[in-house]
Amino acid sequence: MTRTVLLVDDDPHIREVLAFAFDKAGFEVRTAGDGEEALADVTRHKPDLVVLDINMPRMDGLEVCRRLRASDDVPVLFLSSRDDEFDRVLGIELGADDYVVKPFSPREVVARANAILRRSARSDAPAAQAGGATVEKGLLSLDTEGWLARWQGAEVALTVSEFNLVRALAGAPGRILSRDQLIDQLHGPGFAITDRTIDSHIRNIRRKFGDVGAHDVIETRAGVGYRLGTCNGVAKSGG
């Protein structure tokens, strides 16, 4: 089934270059020149992925992502300038799945988009098969086929990358995984993202679980990495 990507950038040249690359890769391509147009397009056409520039007039990409996450779980790939690491990290914390730094190769953008879509399994396929592969630890339950995380039966809405991080930690009970190991789990060996991206995802996961009273889902080992917590609902001081 043909996947649809929405390209959002106020630079028509960037839209044109990316549209060509995605079209060549077999995507149906839609474009928007600003944030307001992008939000309207997502509502009307429900793309499989949004490629979103951070720095745009009228409504920047961060605000677009914030509004999308209030009502939609469509995967988001940010386009970011080299000098705005704070914005990139904030974008991840708002729920973006990944980012590419400008100047970029159109092939890299398409490759990262494909990686997000492979991880997301957003297809209409039988998430219906839910109930097959379930990982449980304490009060935490992960439905790995339905891509659902639950705490005491209540769903916790995670992005694709967040879900994969929790699943990676749950798949290594008792082990501490370094940031490099977690990057490999998300993207494969040699994928160029920073440690801060992993840290931002972890903060986001903790916040979301904290909102439902879960404060012991992930433990930090300073200077080493992260591991799955006890998941019994009791925060461990200093963890």
* pLDDT digit string (tens) for the chain, length 239 residues: 789 999 999 999 999 999 999 999 999 999 999 999 999 999 999 999 999 998 888 898 989 998 998 888 889 999 887 556 666 677 777 778 888 888 888 998 998 898 888 776 543 444 333 344 788 899 999 988 777 899 998 899 888 778 888 999 998 888 999 988 887 777 654 444 556 778 888 988 999 999 998 999 999 988 889 999 999 887 654 44
Class of domain 127-228: mainly alpha
At 24 the pLDDT is: 94
Q: Distance from first CA to last CA of the chain, Å, rounded? A: 44
Q: Going by C-beta distance under 8 Å and a sequence separation of 6 or more, which residues neighbour residue 50? A: 5, 6, 8, 38, 42, 68, 74, 75, 76, 77
Region label for 152, one of left (φ > 0), alpha (ψ between -120 and 50) or beta (otherwise): left
As a whole number of angstroms, the distance between CA 43 and CA 114 comes to 22
Pull the structure tokens for residue 74: 């469509």
Cα–Cα distance for residue pair 91/75, rounded to 1 Å:
12
Structure letter (DSSP) for residue 1: -
> Does 103 sit behind a cis peptide bond, omega within 30 degrees of 0 on the bond before it?
yes
User: 8 is written with which tokens?
Assistant: 């959002």
How far apart CA 152 and CA 224 sit, in angstroms, is: 29
Backbone φ and ψ of 105, nearest 5°: -90, 130
- The rounded distance, in Å, linking the Cα atoms of 206 and 72 is 20
Superfamily in which the 4-120 domain is placed by CATH = Response regulator (3.40.50.2300)
Asked if the domains 4-120 and 127-228 are classified in one and the same CATH topology, the answer is no
- Looking at residue 57, the DSSP 8-state letter turns out to be S
3-class DSSP state of 52: strand
Helix (H, G, I), strand (E, B), or coil: what is residue 184?
helix
Q: Give the phi and the psi of residue 56 in degrees, each rounded to 5.
A: -135, 150
Please give the pLDDT value at position 20: 96
CA-to-CA distance for 202 and 92, rounded, in angstroms? 10
- Residue 233 CA to residue 239 CA, distance in Å, equals 13
**Residue 120 has which token pair?**
């997301």
Name the strand (E) or helix (H) holding 206: helix 195-210
Beta-strand relationship, 49-53 and 28-32: unpaired
Domain range summary for the chain, segments of one domain joined by +: 4-120, 127-228
pTM score of the predicted model: 0.60
Q: DSSP strand E in 60-188: where?
A: 76-80, 98-101, 134-137, 140-143, 148-151, 154-156
